[in-house]
Every structure is written in structure tokens, then in C-alpha cells.
Structure 1
């Protein structure tokens, strides 16, 4: 029997609800597939910060490295500034393990209504590939005259040839593997950002020359936002910098029905470190503790995790169960127009796994 070790980081808010739901699904799917999954939960996050003054302990990466993969719920608390929670937990994991690919699929499932008119199930099927370790989120800069009337804040973006080339190349390889529209759209703003984005554009052209079978387009980020609404069905793989990919992937989630259905993978394609899988939706403190959060994004993230770990049948069975629940339309949370609880939806997915 194959054995896999999964680190669980429920984190904050509804992460404490959706990660246990995904664990139940993984356990049942693993039992059916003959895969033994062991779990170790780490109670790091905002509560840990209130106790210890830090989001996670100093040896966190060493402890996580002992596992095959990581499933994270959410990071964020209304009483802690977001830059502290994010830079105290999620970003150090991404950078420390060099998880330079953030892959966020967006698919319009049967039974889910897009806010855009006229789109049938499957018509919108894209993946936003976001550079995950540099760009606008490098957090290089500082304050001058801090908290004084003359205060100045300097925020520097960092774009390297190495970082741009490897994420762009991953996007082209993904377009080949998906074998859908075989198209890659690059997101830029080189008309206003004359250094980092100009480098990005130049590397995109260089890499695209090695993939003559893949159609390409380059869009300014404002035009891309417009076209995600105007013609979302035209996109296949979208590659973007850290900031642009972050924003556009939320938009792609909404045009396919709900951010509660949006999973993501933080990947090291070389597999030198455990990759991290998470929902896109965040900690949602307004509904935390009420038992009404949508667990499907986290369950779909778990499906992505199993595919990455070499268990495509488990991945397909989990996603198939989610598809069945959505198509049935009887057990849905409020974000999808229903009244069901987190437990109701989890039970429905488990029933379809059977």
C-alpha cells in the first residue's frame, strides 16, 4: 500500500472548517484507492500569533519538509494587519520552499450559474499561472520619516530573468498538457512599467518561439480584466506576475460562479520541497464559526494535491464527486444560491465518492 504524509494547516477563520472537510474526503478516497494517508496538523496562524507573537515557529519549514504535501485552509484575522499574517506564514512557506508556480484553475461546472449570460457548462475553462516568489510581492523597500508628516514609503518590485523564464515556460508546458485551446496569454503593463514588465515581455517572446504549436497573445492587465468578462471562453492558460495573477485569478473564479469553488496549487515542479495546496477564498471572518462555509474549493485543492502526488485516479474521483454534487444542485452553500451547511456539502461529496 502506498503511503503519503500530509501536513494540515487549517490556519484562520473558515480554514478551521474546510480543512477537516477535505481531510474526510481524502481519507475515504484514499481507502478506496488503497493509499494510506497520514496527517499531522499544525495549529499555526493568528491564534499562534496572539500566544507567541509570530504566525508560526522558527522551525516551521523544517517540520513541514518532513511531509509529502501541505494542505492549507486560510490566513488572516480582522485584529491583525494583513501584511503581518501573510508575511508571517504563507509567503515564507512559498519562498522558503521556492514554490514558484501558483496554479489556479477556473471551470464553469454544470449546475453552477455564471454571473455572465449565455455560458454553458465547460465553456469557461482556464488556468491562471501566477509567478509566486518575486515580482510585486518581493517586499523590498522601507519607510523614511516613519509616522511623521513627511513620511515616504518605498515599495520595489523585483523581476529576474530566471524567475520570469521559469514561470512562462511552465505556462507553455501546461498548455501542451491541457491540450485544450493550446493558447497562452501573457499579462503585462509594460506601457507604464518600463523595466520589470519590459523584461517580462521580452522573455515571453523568447520562450514562445520555442513553442510554435501554442498560440499566444499579450494583454495589458486592464485589457485582460475587461476580456475576462467580455470573452472569458477565449482563454486557456494565462501567465501573469505575482500581483496581476493574484487579482485576475479572483476574477476568473467569480465568472465561473463563486470564489468558493476556486482551488489553487503552490508548486515546486522540481519536487525539491513539499508543494502547498489551498482554496483561494481566504479566512472569511464574517462567516467563520457558523458552519456555512463552502468546503468545495478546499476539496478541489485536495484533488489537485493527489494528482501532483501521482494519484490521478484519486484526484479524478474527488473532482467527480464535486461535479456530481454541483450538477445535482440540491446541497449547496449560500454562495451558490443554496442553504446547506459545510457538513451537508461534505456529506454529499462523501456519498458520491461511494
Structure 2
């Protein structure tokens, strides 16, 4: 029996509820496959922080390094200052395990309302490949009353960055630094080319803003274009503001989109909204080792415990996780089951955010049952 150990972090709000349903689907997909999923549950999130005063224990990275993947529900709670848990858990783990790829697929699903007339009929199936360790998300900068003078340090899988910044304006000020390095741009570009090739595409599209920020994003364009050429893939560019404009007019024209960190965060949420909302928006953080998979949505504490959360995004994130572990058959089984569930469900059995009355648990049970039914070759 092949064993894969999965670190389960339910997190906050609806996180534990939706992760439970994704776990059901993953276990159902792996049943009889020769691969066993062994789950290790970790309590990290707002509750752990309030009770212990620590965001992550000192041995967290070491504990997780013995797992094959991380499956996360959601992080964030009104009782904790915004950013504390997000930086302390999400960014810490992304950087510690050098998860330099953030994958955010966006596609039109059956019966999921799309806000753009005619888009569902034309079909939407795109993939945002977001660089996940650099750009303006490095956490470098500071504030000052007239001047800033500080040491700059950052540890990444590719390098240890050190430096010093000193400047003055005579006014209260803030500085946020964005960094791009050639090896980081090359590896994410190569990754995007690989996904595009697997999707049967001949080119990738880079989201940029080199006209306004030539040093950072002009560098990105230069390196990415050279790497794409070496990968045998054409590359087009589009300013990120223009991309947002065209996305809501012709979303069906987009395929594989390569993005620096900040732009990727923004446009992936836009495409999620275009394709029906965060309830069907899966996400994955990957590198050359352990990955972390999570729905794009937040913790939604206002509906926690009400059986109202839509678990489909978490279930689809479990599919991304299985695919990253080399379990493509199981991943496909989950994706097909989600489509079948939406196709077969009457309006009142759809998730509540889609106008139905189905609860979180019912949806998870339905998807898992479809996976089992398909495996056994039974008729609906």
C-alpha cells in the first residue's frame, strides 16, 4: 500500500467544515486505488493563537516536513488583527517550503450562475499561474516619521537577501519593496509553460505593468520572454489593468496566465467572480517539495457553524492536491463528481449561495457518493 501523509489544518471560521468535506471526497477518490491517505490534524489558527499566544509552534515546519502535502481550510478571525495569522501561517509556510507556484484555475461549471451574459455558453477554462515568493509580498519595507533607516533581510529557497535602506522626505512615510530575481522568474515561467503545454495551448499571457514600473516589471518581461522562448512557447503580454477590462468582456479568450505575485492575487479573484464566485474557486501552493492546498475564499466567520458554507472550492482544492501527489486518476474522479453533482442536482439541492437549500454536509456526502458510484460503475 502506497501511503501519503496529509497535514490537515482546518483553521478558522468555516475552514474546518469545508475541509471535512474535501477530505471525504479525497478518501473516496483514493479508495481501492492502492494509495492510502493518512491524515494528521493540526489546530493552528485563531483559536490556537488566543489560547497559547503563538501563531505556529517552533517545531511546526519540522512537523510538516514529514508530511506529503498540506490541506488547509481558511485562516482569519475578527478576534485577531488582520494580517497576523495570514502572514504568520500562510506566508511563513509558503516561504519555509519554497512554494513558488500558486495555481488558481477558473472555469465555468454547470448551473453555477455567471455574471457575464453568454459567457457560460462560450465556455471559460483558464489557469492563473502566480509567482508566490517575491514581488511586493516579500514583506520588505517600513514606516518612518520623516525618514526610514533599516536593515532588509529575507530568506527564500533560492537565496538569502540582505541589505540596508536609508531615505528621508521630512514627512511621515511608508516604504514597501518589490523584488524580482532571474531564477525566480525563470522557474515560474517554465512552470506556466508546462501547464500551458498540458492544456494544449501554444502560448502564455504575462500580466504586467512595465509601462509604469519598468524596473520591476520590465525585468519580468525580459526574463519571462527569454525563458518562454527556451521552453518553445510563445509569450504575449498585457497590462494588468487592461487584462481586468478585457476579462469582464471576453473571459473565454483567456488560457494560461502568468502573473507576478501581486497581480496574480488580484486577477485570480476577478476570474473567480466571473466564473461563479469563491465557492468554486480552488487554489494550490506548490514547489519542488511539499505543497499546500486551500480554497481561495476566506473564513466567513459569520456563517460558521450554520451548515451554510459551500464546500465545492475546498473539494476542488483536494483534487489539485491529489494531482500534485501524482494521483491524477483520483483528482479527475473528484472533478467529474463535482460536475455530475451540479448537473444532476435540482435547484433546491444546490449550495445556498447558488440559490439552493443544500447544506455543507449534504453537498460533501453527495460528491463522495458520486465518486463511489462512478468507481463501481453504477447508474444514478
TM > 0.5 fold call = yes
Q: Which of structures 1 and 2 has the bigger CA Rg?
A: 2
Partner of 1:176: 197
Contact 2:309 2:360 in 1 (8 A): yes
Q: Deviations over 1:42-64 (max 9, x none)?
A: 00011111122222112111100
Partner of 2:253: 234
Partner of 1:72: 72
Partner of 2:336: 320
Deviation of 1:258 (Å): 1.6
Take 2:121 and 2:8, find their aligned partners in 1: how far apart are those partners?
Answer: 32
Deviation of 1:27 (Å): 1.9
Secondary structure of 2:358's counterpart equals coil
Contact 2:208 2:239 in 1 (8 A): yes
Contact 1:124 1:256 in 2 (8 A): yes
Counterparts of residues 16-31 of structure 1 (less than 5 Å): 16-31=16-31
Take 1:16 and 1:189, find their aligned partners in 2: how far apart are those partners?
Answer: 38
Q: Does 1:199 align with 2:199?
A: no
Aligned length: 347
Q: Which moved more, 1:29-38 or 1:10-19?
A: 29-38
Q: Choose which of 317, 321, 333 in structure 1 pairs with 2:351.
A: 333
Deviation of 1:150 (Å): 5.2
Take 1:32 and 1:107, find their aligned partners in 2: how far apart are those partners?
Answer: 29
Take 1:59 and 1:183, find their aligned partners in 2: how far apart are those partners?
Answer: 43
Deviation of 1:80 (Å): 1.7
Q: Choose which of 300, 305, 308 in structure 1 pairs with 2:324.
A: 308
Contact 1:300 1:319 in 2 (8 A): yes
Deviation of 1:145 (Å): 3.1
Q: Does 1:248 align with 2:264?
A: no
Take 2:326 and 2:137, find their aligned partners in 1: how far apart are those partners?
Answer: 31
Deviation of 1:122 (Å): 7.1
Deviation of 1:35 (Å): 2.0
Q: Choose which of 221, 230, 236 in structure 2 pairs with 1:210.
A: 230
Please give the TM-score of this superposition, normalised by the length of structure 1.
0.94
Secondary structure of 2:214's counterpart equals coil
Q: Which moved more, 1:46-55 or 1:118-127?
A: 118-127
Q: Please identify runs of 4+ aligned residues in structure 1 that moved more than 6 A.
A: none
Take 1:327 and 1:347, find their aligned partners in 2: how far apart are those partners?
Answer: 16
Greater share of strand = 2
Contact 1:258 1:335 in 2 (8 A): no
RMSD (CA atoms): 1.6
Q: Which moved more, 1:115-124 or 1:229-238?
A: 115-124
Deviation of 1:229 (Å): 0.9
Counterparts of residues 38-77 of structure 1 (less than 5 Å): 38-77=38-77
Q: Deviations over 1:277-303 (max 9, x none)?
A: 110011112222211111111111111
Contact 1:112 1:257 in 2 (8 A): yes
Q: Which moved more, 1:242-251 or 1:28-37?
A: 28-37
Contact 2:104 2:281 in 1 (8 A): yes
Deviation of 1:4 (Å): 1.0
Q: Choose which of 174, 180, 187 in structure 2 pairs with 1:153.
A: 174
Q: Choose which of 328, 336, 349 in structure 1 pairs with 2:367.
A: 349
Query: Which stretches in structure 2 are left out of the alignment for 5+ residues?
Result: 147-169, 373-380
Q: Deviations over 1:7-66 (max 9, x none)?
A: 001111110110111111222222232321110000001111112222211211110010
Secondary structure of 2:143's counterpart equals strand
Take 2:71 and 2:121, find their aligned partners in 1: how far apart are those partners?
Answer: 28
Deviation of 1:349 (Å): 0.5
Deviation of 1:199 (Å): 0.5
Query: Which stretches in structure 1 are left out of the alignment for 5+ residues?
Result: none
Take 1:314 and 1:216, find their aligned partners in 2: how far apart are those partners?
Answer: 32
Deviation of 1:216 (Å): 2.8
Contact 1:14 1:287 in 2 (8 A): yes
